[in-house]
Amino acid sequence: MNLSQTSAKDLLGDLASGRLSAVEVMRATLDRIAAVNGRVNAIVALRDEEDLMAEARAADAATAKGPLHGLPIAVKDLVNVAGIASTQGSPVFRDHIPQSDDLIAARMRAAGAILIGKTNTPEFGLGSHTFNPVYGATRNPYDLARSCGGSSGGAAVALATGMLALADGSDMMGSLRNPAAWNNVYGFRPSWGRVPSEPVGDNYLHQLSTLGPMARSPEDIGLLLDVISGSDPRFPLSVDSRNVAPVTPADLTGLRIGWLGDWGGAFPLEAGISDLCETALSVFETLGAQIEPLAPPFEAERIWDSWITLRSWSVAAKLEALSDSKASLKDSAQWELERGLALSAMEVHHASVTRSDWFRRAAALFEDYDALILPSAQVWPFDIDKPYPTEIAGQAMDTYHRWMQVVTPVSLLGLPCLAIPAGFGQQGLPMGLQLFGPRGSDARLLEIGAAYHAETLWPQKRPAI
């Protein structure tokens, strides 16, 4: 059995039955990391091998703690993990070793996962390209000269290369969806509040970013989603939710899916992306779904203006404590901090009104459609030495993140969204789709995705290095 490409479901089943030991899984994991991580730089702050093997032996000797018992997982480096360097990709936190776990890490540890290290991320998670001055850049396993996306780029690459079977990520502006697309894996942005954020600072005002799972199938996504979901009494807007696992393929007969494409030309796409996405849509039709092209349901520029206001306000709230060392931050962090600190209360209010208007319009759409679909990215993976795209199809980008505008309709509303692989373009590079639905439709989206996955098996068909 090739453990590096075995599903999380099968690994955990074999661990629970005793057909596999935690020691065997850990040995295979460390061997795979040794074989490929030097080329892609996805796993960082890897713990000492002897300590990890000892923890695996202890897991074999103990009663199972939970559904992830004995499974190695590396945690995204925006999350504090006790005893492991947690840098957020910033020199400011290069030597930060927390004494306690953040909530998501604590939940995975309590479920029996062995936390082996970190997955790489951009500095403070800003920008959909994983590079930082602490660990350097993470490379795309389908072309080592190209970006892997971000900010959950290390997680996506670790999955694509078989170094991990499950990974956590986070998503504000496509940070799960873009790297999933560019690495031929799945990522899930849950309904906002289903997976609570860390209960520190303000827990009421900022409702843009969420934590979520990544894997090589929707079925495996469901396993981790159940572990990290659930309300926390310290987080006032968290919600209780039923388990989604086991995720089984839905019958798509008669399912109505709205295809939003390039939003009436508002989202320029590089050549080949639209054609590949439409080919992927035909899979849903083969399975019995109805695909209907939709005119733009809301003005894209209004969504964008609302988004960049609320995003800068949220990012600046997190970075305000670093104002005195602003010059040491990456340029995008400085830009967000300056914009956020300059905003007035009424500017934030008007942005929230626009968000509310778009939410009401989207709610009306979901009365007629079971789900909506957009491309996951507007460009193919770009040169790893390029900070971000400055133009798409001849159209200049006016900010460091305008090239990811296609993810903002989902992010602004906190809707559940499954990033699914769409196949490969002419250069052999992966691309993906965003399948999203109304709040609370998390389980249904995973079931729809499972039907698509059973038909395509993209992560299993084109192994990376």
pLDDT at 325: 86
DSSP-derived pairing of the beta strands 290-293 and 256-259: parallel
d(CA 72, CA 68): 9
Say how many C-beta atoms besides its own lie within 10 A of residue 62's C-beta: 12
d(CA 339, CA 320): 11
Say how many C-beta atoms besides its own lie within 10 A of residue 377's C-beta: 30
Helix, strand or coil, per DSSP, at residue 371: strand
User: Are the beta carbons of 196 and 235 closer than 8 angstroms?
Assistant: yes
Residues whose CB falls within 8 Å of the CB of residue 375, separated by 6 or more in sequence, listed in order: 261, 262, 267, 269, 273, 274, 277, 406, 422, 431, 432, 433, 434
pLDDT at 462: 86
d(CA 443, CA 189): 12
Helices within 269-385 (DSSP H only): 273-286, 300-319, 331-342, 345-365
What one-character DSSP code corresponds to residue 447? H
User: Are the beta carbons of 98 and 45 closer than 8 angstroms?
Assistant: no
User: Are the beta carbons of 72 and 23 closer than 8 angstroms?
Assistant: no
* Topology (CATH) of 3-461: Amidase signature (AS) enzymes (3.90.1300)
pLDDT at 63: 96
pLDDT at 463: 84
Catalytic residues: 76, 151, 175
Residue 398's alpha-carbon distances to 304, 308, 390, 401, 402, in angstroms, are 12, 12, 8, 8, 7
What's the alpha-carbon Rg for the chain, to the nearest Å?
A: 21
Q: Where are the domains of the chain?
A: 3-461
Burial group, residue 140, by CB count within 10 angstroms (0-12, 13-18, 19+): buried
Residue 217's alpha-carbon distances to 223, 247, 327, 419, in angstroms, are 10, 10, 42, 11
pLDDT at 1: 67
The tens place of each residue's pLDDT in the chain, 465 residues long, gives: 689 999 999 999 999 999 999 999 999 999 999 999 999 999 999 999 999 999 999 999 999 999 999 999 999 999 999 999 999 999 999 999 999 999 999 999 999 999 999 999 999 999 999 999 999 999 999 999 999 999 999 999 999 999 999 999 999 999 999 999 999 999 999 999 999 999 999 999 999 999 999 999 999 999 999 999 999 999 999 999 999 999 999 999 999 999 999 999 999 999 999 999 999 999 999 999 999 999 999 999 999 999 999 999 999 999 999 998 889 899 999 999 999 999 999 999 999 999 999 999 999 999 999 999 999 999 999 999 999 999 999 999 999 999 999 999 999 999 999 999 999 999 999 999 999 999 999 999 999 999 999 999 999 998 888
pLDDT at 230: 97
Burial group, residue 73, by CB count within 10 angstroms (0-12, 13-18, 19+): buried
